[in-house]
Amino acid sequence: MARKGKERDRTWYIKWVSSIILMLAMTLTSQNIFPYNLYLHLLGTLGWTYVSIVWNDRALLVINSVALSIFINGILSATVKINGI
């Protein structure tokens, strides 16, 4: 039986892997496992940012760009606190 619809390209895999990573990151956040939750959020958001660029979807690009800046800020803040800088 032939498959109908769009072929599964790289973007399809990145979209789903990034979504799973984000769900794992949310689980870590709900369990207060810090700062590892931020690293996973950053990874998942990077994937979705790539997808939004490929799809040329401005709404996805805006939300993921803002999320990236928030997670990078959180990682830098955590690094400063942990290292006592």
Structure tokens at 84: 């006592």
Helices marked H in the chain: 10-30, 36-55, 58-83
pLDDT at 6: 64
Cis amide linkage into residue 35, ω under 30° from 0:
yes
CA distance 72 to 38: 8
Domain ranges for the chain, please list them.
33-85
From first to last of the 85 residues of the chain, give the pLDDT tens digit: 445 556 689 999 999 999 999 999 999 999 999 999 999 999 999 999 999 999 999 999 999 999 999 999 999 999 998 888 7
CA distance 82 to 50: 30
Q: Whole-model pTM?
A: 0.85
pLDDT at 36: 94
For the chain, the C-alpha Rg in angstroms (whole number) is 16
